[in-house]
């Protein structure tokens, strides 16, 4: 249950249902209030009309006892003066509330003691005032009680007597309509919410099926550790399809990275095995026959083993994301210093370096780049090695050229891979472990630059390093 409630589908269904429920409740309340207001307005109009009909009779001098009052059940009427004396009420009106005057038993109105006098003695017409207010109350007519909307208006009869007329209009139609609408909403709202929840559940289930397929395949990949597998990509061209595509790209990159690590471990083990075995053999022979110990060979193997271990350690740090330093370097001075410190080179190195070409980076790592490129040139050059340092716009350019056989065009990308050597026919001692150019490329890229190889002016290899200035 907890897992189900925590699913995206459940959250989406619950969220949609809650939003629709709130919207429907708000809309329902607004409809009921509007319906009640409209029906109340209609009742007010009916009460106004009934009151004006009675007021017209009073204004024209009709005696209160002779007023033609509407049916009490439809429009209960009460005529009173300002002192609360009741002069006329609808027939069968037994009880009334909401008008402020509870009395329902009429007394003789002003002038009614002169019943035998002619109406011609008082030909004037009174004045009908405006509706002053509306109120809600109850009236009991012939034993039946109901709710009414009452209107109040003032009227002055021809004898200049002012009375108040209260006329009501039934609210049963309003109450019935509101109750019916409320009942329909109470019944329809849960049904509509069930429909919304069901449709949302089905739609989200269909929309999330590809996600579940991706999850299931990723779980299988994790369990099997088979990085060659890929998650299914739906043909919907939506966010889920892009997620699947990105996941597959990530898997491909991860597979390539793992494969590189496997090759790296295998090649490193192979490269380390050779000097270790040679060194062990020499030491064992020396232990048994001291006169046969090749000290110089043991030292060379130890140095080679030390260099190989240093290269592997640097590659490991680069793979771990080690960032270069931010020391300020003058490229020309840096190149001259690094070349001057080299000993034991087979060929001299000609340096042509401009002054004032500054860049930022790790001095030790950039020194390793230049050293590896020069070591490579020393192995392949015929008679000449040239180093050039100059500025090219926003770039600091370092070039190492030789007059050797060069690098075949089809091999120019492969030579920067780890443990790759194009001089396999040479001995390991002469050819190195195949890590120098790989280290140089990784260091340059960590500095935001790029390393490329081409053809030098004298026909050999030209390695060019471009680093951002400043």
For residue 73, the tally of other CB atoms under 10 A from its CB is: 16
Distance between CA atoms of 209 and 7, rounded to whole angstroms? 13
Residue 116 has a pLDDT of 46
> Domain 239-319: which topology?
Helix Hairpins (1.10.287)
Output 29-32 pairs: Cβ under 8 A, ≥24 positions apart. Answer: 31/181, 31/185, 32/178, 32/181, 32/182, 32/185
| Cα–Cα–Cα angle for 431, 295, 379, rounded to 5 degrees | 15
> Across residues 442-453, what is the average pLDDT?
91
Residue 30: the pLDDT is 92
Please report the pLDDT score of residue 225 as a whole number: 82
User: Which one is predicted more confidently, 61 or 265?
Assistant: 61
According to DSSP, residue 139 is labeled E
Supply the pLDDT for residue 285.
80
Summarize pLDDT for 32-45 with one digit per residue, the tens: 999 889 999 999 99
> Which of 168-177, 264-273, 289-298, 395-404 reaches the highest mean pLDDT?
395-404
**What pLDDT was estimated at residue 429?**
47
Reduced to 3 DSSP states, what percent helix, strand and coil does the chain have, rounded to the nearest 5? 50, 20, 30
Write out the H or E segment, with its range, that includes residue 272.
helix 239-288
pLDDT tier, 6 (very low <50, low <70, confident <90, very high otherwise): low
pLDDT for 65-84, tens place per residue?
A: 888 998 888 899 999 998 88
Q: Quick one: how many helices (H) and strands (E) in the chain?
A: 9, 13
What is the helix (H) or strand (E) element at residue 151, kind and residue range?
A: strand 144-156
What CATH architecture applies to the domain 327-468?
2-Layer Sandwich (3.30)
Q: What strands, in cross-sheet order, belong to the sheet with 450-455? A: 350-353, 385-392, 395-402, 461-468, 450-455
Q: Is 132 helix (H, G, I), strand (E, B) or coil?
A: strand
pLDDT at 113: 56
| pTM exceeds 0.85 for this model | no
Same fold, 239-319 and 327-468: no
The per-residue pLDDT for range 74-122, each reduced to its tens digit, is 899 999 998 889 999 998 898 999 888 988 898 887 666 555 444 455 5
- Of 422, 369, 428, 378, give the one whose Cα is nearest residue 399: 369
Q: Where are the domains of the chain?
A: 1-111+124-217, 239-319, 327-468
**Per-residue pLDDT, 237:** 80
d(CA 29, CA 206): 34
Backbone angles phi, psi at 432, to 5 degrees: 75, -175
Mean pLDDT (the chain) is 85
């Amino acid at each position: 249950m907890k897992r189900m409630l925590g699913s995206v589908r459940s959250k989406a269904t619950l969220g949609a249902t809650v939003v629709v429920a709130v919207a429907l409740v708000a809309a329902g309340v607004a409809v009921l209030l509007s319906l009640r207001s409209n029906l109340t307005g209609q009742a007010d109009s009916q009460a106004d009309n009934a009151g004006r009909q009675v007021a017209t009779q009073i204004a024209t001098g009709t005696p209160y006892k002779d007023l033609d009052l509407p049916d009490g059940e439809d429009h209960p009427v009460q005529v009173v003066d300002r002192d609360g004396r009741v002069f006329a009420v609808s027939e069968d009106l037994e009880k009334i509330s909401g008008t402020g005057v509870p009395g329902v038993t009429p007394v003789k109105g002003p002038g009614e003691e002169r019943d035998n006098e002619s109406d011609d003695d008082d030909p004037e017409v009174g004045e009908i005032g405006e509706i002053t207010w509306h109120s809600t109350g109850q009236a009991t007519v012939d034993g039946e009680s109901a709710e009414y909307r009452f209107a109040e208006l003032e009227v002055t009869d021809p004898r200049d007597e002012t009375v108040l007329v209260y006329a009501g209009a039934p609210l049963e139609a309003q109450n019935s309509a509101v109750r019916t609408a409320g009942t329909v909403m109470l019944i329809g709202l849960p049904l509509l919410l069930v429909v919304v929840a069901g449709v949302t559940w089905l739609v989200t289930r269909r929309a999330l099926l590809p996600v579940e397929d991706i999850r299931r395949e990723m779980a299988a990949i994790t369990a099997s550790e088979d990085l060659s597998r890929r998650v299914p990509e739906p043909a919907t061209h939506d966010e889920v399809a892009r997620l699947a595509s990105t996941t597959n790209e990530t898997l491909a990159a991860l597979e390539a990275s793992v494969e590189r690590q496997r090759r790296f471990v295998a090649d490193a083990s192979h490269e380390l095995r050779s000097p270790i075995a040679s060194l062990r053999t020499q030491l064992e022979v020396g232990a048994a026959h001291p006169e046969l110990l090749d000290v110089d060979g043991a030292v060379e193997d130890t140095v080679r083993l030390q260099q190989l271990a240093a290269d592997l350690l640097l590659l490991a740090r680069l793979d771990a994301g080690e960032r270069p330093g931010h020391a300020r370097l003058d490229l020309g001075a840096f190149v001259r210093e690094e070349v001057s410190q080299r000993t034991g080179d087979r060929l001299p190195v000609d340096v042509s370096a401009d002054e004032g070409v500054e860049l930022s980076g790790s001095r030790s790592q950039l020194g390793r780049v230049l050293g590896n490129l020069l070591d490579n040139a020393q192995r392949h050059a015929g008679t000449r090695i040239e180093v050039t340092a100059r500025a090219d716009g926003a770039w600091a350019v370092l070039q190492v050229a030789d007059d050797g056989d060069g690098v075949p065009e089809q091999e120019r990308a492969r030579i920067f891979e780890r443990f790759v050597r194009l001089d396999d026919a040479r001995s390991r001692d002469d050819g190195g472990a195949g890590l120098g150019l790989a280290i140089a490329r990784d260091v340059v890229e960590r500095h935001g630059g790029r390393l490329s190889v081409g053809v030098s002016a004298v026909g050999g290899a030209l390695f060019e390093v471009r680093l951002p200035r400043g």
